[in-house]
Structure 1
Amino acid sequence: MERYIKFEPSKQPLYDEYNKDHMYLFNEDRLMVEVKGEEYTIPNREDLERFKPHINYLQCLGAYNGINCYCGEIEELVAGNYKFIDLRTYSKNISHDDFLISAKALLLLDYVRANQRCGICGSKMIMKVSGNDRAMICTSCDHMVWPKTAPAIIVAITKEDKLLLAHNKMFPEGMYSILAGFVEMGETFEDCVKREVFEETGIKVHNIKYFGSQPWPFPNSMMIGFTAEYLEGEIKVDNDEIVDAKWFSKEEIPGKYRKSISISTELIEWFLNK
């Protein structure tokens, strides 16, 4: 039977099979994986211990499907069939759940690396020992910092039988995607959808409906997906981030976007399959 709760967050290991612990080790934002043929796998503690690697900022994430998971920073590859890859590359041949665990690992590591010194008094910060809340606490003034996630909306906008796709100036030529943007302080997700769409394309939308969400560790976002319908207005791109936007029929979309494990792909394919 499939586990109801696949990932159990915890600062301490939850299971006794120490040697099976999965080790998500990063060099900057690149993940160390073991290469087995055409597959990439996460090394376990037993595999790595014979190399005695030096690991910085080692933290327990919790457990995934009954196996303890750790993250940390490693400066050099260990001997053997290992390599560093970015998470986008790693995500191409793994399940969505496996991608989310690697994302959790990078998000936690970035949080710990970024909070080594107190922002109030400059003293050293350490992980709070008591309780299971993930907080860094100052050793001098007791100031506490919790992990922060930057919420961002992403929206698939339909107009009758067409989908709005936009070309960001950072995209490769000919590539399009749906619109996205960060939520401002004190702003609802729905208001953010309206504002971002209007700012970037000049059109108004309504019937905004929640679709799903996805942690996105580039660097620390939570993507909140929506669908929406065209209300009024003519497309007029901002020429800041968005340099082109068009309504595409289902037949025109293949080849215009990069398929990936992202919620952007999920939303585009939701439209293609509706």
Structure 2
Amino acid sequence: MGYIEELRSLVGHRPLILVGSVVLICDNQGRVLMQKRKFPKGYWGLPGGLMELGESAEDTAVREVFEETGLNINQLKLFRVYSGMKKMSVAENGDQYYPVTISYVTKTYDGEWAIDPAESETFEFRSRDNLPEHILRNHKRILNDFLSIQSF
């Protein structure tokens, strides 16, 4: 049982503060890797996930990207830290949480695609003028901030 599951077994669905990492993975054409998620159905986001005990934020980013995509990433650059969201997030199972999301950027990745079908339907590199319609609220904020300062 992982840290989050163990914590949830103690507190149930009550609100928690959870720390996670996401990665803006850019290809050589300036597109950003987007993940079409299983949950919530029909929504897109950035690859990433929640921190486990003993991990650094960078470790979390690397592990989550590998688990979800099969890609190895490195040369992570801190983009921004997002916290204090006015609205609580609610997971599919009813778990409530306030996210602290540490976002990174990288253009360095390798490996073979190995999409985790439990979490993802697909991944696509998308340009700023071809973004999906339904993007997770917190990830949309990160993506909009990133695109507002990037000239690609």
Say whether the fold is shared (TM-score over 0.5): yes
1:249 lines up with 2:124 in the alignment: no
Alignment match, 1:200: 68
Structure 1 contact 235–245 (Cα < 8 Å) conserved: no
Partner deviation per Cα, 1:245-264 (whole Å, 9 max, x = no partner): 111122321x434374x3x2
Which structure has more relative contact order (CA 8 Å, sep 6+)? It is 2
Aligned to 1:159, the other structure's residue is in SS state coil
1:266 lines up with 2:141 in the alignment: yes
Question: How far 1:244 moved relative to its partner?
Answer: 0.9
Alignment match, 1:164: 33
Partner deviation per Cα, 1:17-65 (whole Å, 9 max, x = no partner): xxxxxxxxxxxxxxxxxxxxxxxxxxxxxxxxxxxxxxxxxxxxxxxxx
Question: How far 1:176 moved relative to its partner?
Answer: 1.6
Alignment of 1:1-274 (within 5 A): 149-160=17-28, 161-173=30-42, 175-215=43-83, 216=85, 217-218=88-89, 219-253=97-131, 255-258=132-135, 260=137, 262=138, 264-273=139-148, 274=150
In structure 1, distance between residues paired with 2:45 and 2:110: 21
Deviates more, 1:239-248 or 1:195-204: 239-248
Q: List runs of 5+ in structure 1 lacking aligned partners.
A: 1-110, 115-146
Distance of aligned partners of 1:268 and 1:206 in 2 relative to their CA distance in 1, 3 Å threshold: same
CA RMSD of aligned residues (A): 2.5
In structure 2, distance between residues paired with 1:222 and 1:272: 20
Question: How far 1:236 moved relative to its partner?
Answer: 2.0
Q: List runs of 5+ in structure 2 lacking aligned partners.
A: 1-10, 90-96
- Provide TM-score, normalisation by structure 1: 0.41
Structure 2 contact 45–136 (Cα < 8 Å) conserved: no
Structure 2 contact 44–136 (Cα < 8 Å) conserved: no
State the 4+ residue runs in structure 1 displaced beyond 4 angstroms.
none
Structure 1 contact 163–271 (Cα < 8 Å) conserved: no
